[in-house]
Structure 1
Amino acid sequence: MPDLKTTPLYEFYKSHDAKLIDFGGYLLPVQISGIKAEHQAVRTAAGIFDVSHMGEFLVKGKGTEQFLQQMVTNDVSKAQPGDAIYTAMCYETGGTVDDLLIYCLEKDVYQLVVNAANIEKDFKWLNEHKPAEIELTDRSESIGLLAVQGPKALSIVQKITDYPLQSIEHFKFADQVRLQGVPSLVSRTGYTGEDGFEIYCPWAQAPVLWNALLDAGEMDGLIPCGLGARDTLRFEARLPLYGQELSSTITPLEAGVGFAVKLNKAADFIGKTVLINQKQDGLKRKIVGIEMIDRAIPRTHYGVYVNDKKVGEVTTGTQSPTLGKNLGLVLIDIEYSKIGTQVEVDIRGKRKKATVIKTPFYKRA
């Protein structure tokens, strides 16, 4: 795979015989010791993920807040320095350009964190809409990103810094925190449904931090994790994946992330009119959870039926490692979205029974 990019941890993956795949143009591990073991480590102790493939943009200059207000669905004006907010960018149709995190570094200076496969598209989209006086810089290949997730994440990361990490609240961050001597932005965020930290550091220093964290967490059960566990963890917590639960044809309201859509903010953001109409008229479809009744696993793009009528499609499905059940997320016509509704999933030409259930499938105590 000669055309694929690699992260700073590539040598670690090679030395540990990790199973590597193309993900967003990067060569990344699906698993290192095994998806189930990695998944369980995060739920019960801690796991460390290399997510350096994610994109980071620096946006700054007079009027940056107003610019972002017009580009994203959430209310950027509410973010103070040290705040992180989850949001979406939409097309005029209401479909999703991407979902992302915005870090307020200081007044009119923000870091945007976007999905790896969307870096080029997002940068172009923002560039096409920004005023000339605003500076937009792609820093994706100079910033490494590690995530330590799980109930023991706090105590493990604390071992390599003097900074009081407990003082960082959920969806807050601290900049210039020295971890093992490496200046880093440390954010109390993640993509697993567990407590944890995402650590932004200089690209070349990521292996130093990775090894220091593995050493610090060895006695606590910290293990390195790949994309497979990242996917099953986020799925159980009902966190959307762009390209599956969110896309250019799926709006944030249909995807169930309406909490990040502030239709009452003054700024006329792109797609706002369509989303207001969708809200007022009522959704015609939305994403719901299903549990299989018959023995079968629903997979992405499998059709969902009621009485031979196709009413939806699976966006993500798997056997939940935590719950041991065959579960799926389904984009379904609204009249079949009620909890308890029975549907059938077309699995390789055979219809298998399932029922609509409450999500998230997993929520930490």
Structure 2
Amino acid sequence: MDIAGTEELRRTPLHAAHLRAGARMVPFGGWDMPVQYQGVKAEHTAVREQAGVFDVSHMGEFRVSGPGALAFLQHVTTNDVGRLKPGRAHYNWLPNETGGLVDDIYVYRVADEEFLLVVNASNIVKDWAHLQSQLPIQELPGQGVSMIDESGQTALLAVQGPQAEALLQPVTDIDLSAQKKNAYFQANMFGLPVWLARTGYTGEDGFEIFAASGHAETLWNGLLALGIVPAGLGARDTLRLEAGFPLYGHEFSDNIHPLSSGYGWVVKDKPHLGRAALDAPSTRKLIGLRLERVPVREGYPVKLGGVVVGHVTSGTSSPTLGYPIAAALVEAHAAHAEHFAVEVRGRDVDAARVEMPFYRRL
């Protein structure tokens, strides 16, 4: 988990609610965020077995609309936005021109000429500037594009876990069982207008709730009253790593070729920014590692035959599996080896290559 301090930390609309719930707050991407409440393991287990709720209001939301919105998004992203029907969403990338990523994002199609982009909190300013820089390329007659940054007015809550649907149904005025994965739809929850998406970042079923920031506390309090457990960034990180989900700044960056990961399906056969650079093969590959007892952290050297061939990008002690796991970026020629060593404070620790995701729900 990438925690970095800053002099002036921003606060989500739920900051006071987190303090009342006893959260331990930490700087994260320029925000003061809850890392845990009752403990990472307990919160992690609640999401795997029942349901937890995360405040992810620090994420950025950009609304892109107009006759040229689709053509613009096709130019700046790698996935095929044209395949999205209104009411659907997908995972996507913002490539740069040199073979890295500006960000990894989610795209929601609101209507034929209207889209919502959700971007990483630490990249809001960078992503906005990047997208603005590409707008003139798409300024064609009758093809106008409007972009609005709605990050400051939007609260975003993520309810995740196998009981998410059952717990939310009594307080929601739409049949949640009819909404498939990646659905995006309007509803009323606790009598308040919201947009719901059947998406998430934990490897479990669940819904992300988009609402006006002024409604955040009412929604949060209502969710806790249902018995949904508040969960912090610590559990979010262990859950996403078990599920094999990448984190920008760790598995992806401006300087990491995104096809080093197993997410090549995000690049569709269409013209887009940086296409030539992405067509070049990656010299590194992302692999999964299992260790027996010693957890490892980002940056630790990964060795094969005593030679450093890469480094750990993310590591944790898996609460679900009961042993340490890690993602590592290694030289492509070494990626198919079965056994590695990770250097931990000057000592080499054995690690076995395993397939990702480490955990997959039944």
Q: Which residue is equivalent to 1:288?
A: 287
Query: Offset of 1:75 from its aligned partner?
Result: 0.2
CA RMSD of aligned residues (A): 1.2
State whether structure 2 residue 360 is matched by structure 1 residue 357: no
Q: Which residue is equivalent to 1:72?
A: 77
Q: Which residue is equivalent to 1:305?
A: 303
State whether structure 2 residue 316 is matched by structure 1 residue 318: yes
Q: Which residue is equivalent to 1:128?
A: 133
State whether structure 2 residue 12 is matched by structure 1 residue 7: yes
Q: Which residue is equivalent to 2:276?
A: 273
- 1:89 is aligned, of 74, 79, 94, to 94
**Alpha-carbon distance in structure 2 between the residues aligned to 1:64 and 1:310:** 46
Letter in structure 2 aligned against 1:356: R
**Alpha-carbon distance in structure 2 between the residues aligned to 1:189 and 1:252:** 22
**Alpha-carbon distance in structure 1 between the residues aligned to 2:45 and 2:170:** 22
Q: Which residue is equivalent to 2:234?
A: 228
Q: Which residue is equivalent to 2:343?
A: 346
Query: Offset of 1:19 from its aligned partner?
Result: 0.8
Q: TM-score normalized by structure 1?
A: 0.94
State whether structure 2 residue 40 is matched by structure 1 residue 35: yes
What's the secondary structure of 2:152's corresponding residue? coil
**Alpha-carbon distance in structure 2 between the residues aligned to 1:94 and 1:81:** 30
Query: Offset of 1:2 from its aligned partner?
Result: 6.3
CA deviations over 1:187-220 (Å, ceiling 9, x no partner): 000000000000000011011111111112x2xx
Q: Which residue is equivalent to 1:188?
A: 198
What's the secondary structure of 1:56's corresponding residue? strand
CA deviations over 1:7-56 (Å, ceiling 9, x no partner): 11111111122110111111001001100000000000000011000000
What's the secondary structure of 2:125's corresponding residue? helix
Query: Offset of 1:94 from its aligned partner?
Result: 1.3
Query: Offset of 1:258 from its aligned partner?
Result: 1.1
- Which deviates more, 155-164 or 116-125? 155-164
**Alpha-carbon distance in structure 1 between the residues aligned to 2:173 and 2:148:** 31
Q: TM-score normalized by structure 2?
A: 0.95
**Alpha-carbon distance in structure 2 between the residues aligned to 1:182 and 1:336:** 53
Q: Which residue is equivalent to 2:253?
A: 247
Where do 4+ consecutive residues of structure 1 move more than 2 Å?
A: none
What's the secondary structure of 1:323's corresponding residue? coil
Query: Offset of 1:252 from its aligned partner?
Result: 2.2
- 2:265 is aligned, of 259, 267, 270, to 259
Q: Output aligned runs, 1:110-129, within 5 Å.
A: 110-129=115-134
Structure 2: where are the runs of 5+ without partners? 1-5
Q: Is the 8 A contact 1:252 1:261 kept in 2?
A: no
What's the secondary structure of 1:313's corresponding residue? strand
What's the secondary structure of 2:280's corresponding residue? helix
What's the secondary structure of 1:94's corresponding residue? coil
- 2:157 is aligned, of 140, 146, 153, to 146
**Alpha-carbon distance in structure 2 between the residues aligned to 1:288 and 1:129:** 33
Letter in structure 2 aligned against 1:364: R
Letter in structure 2 aligned against 1:238: G
Q: Would you say how many aligned residue pairs link Structure 1 and Structure 2?
A: 351
Query: Offset of 1:85 from its aligned partner?
Result: 1.0
What's the secondary structure of 1:141's corresponding residue? helix
Letter in structure 2 aligned against 1:351: D
Letter in structure 1 aligned against 2:153: S
What's the secondary structure of 2:314's corresponding residue? strand
Q: Is the 8 A contact 1:56 1:139 kept in 2?
A: yes
CA deviations over 1:120-148 (Å, ceiling 9, x no partner): 00000000101353111110010100000
What's the secondary structure of 1:354's corresponding residue? strand
Q: Percent identity between the aligned chains?
A: 43
Q: Is the 8 A contact 1:160 1:213 kept in 2?
A: no
**Alpha-carbon distance in structure 2 between the residues aligned to 1:326 and 1:277:** 33
Q: Which residue is equivalent to 2:3?
A: none
**Alpha-carbon distance in structure 2 between the residues aligned to 1:335 and 1:251:** 16
Query: Offset of 1:245 from its aligned partner?
Result: 0.6
Q: Which residue is equivalent to 2:31?
A: 26
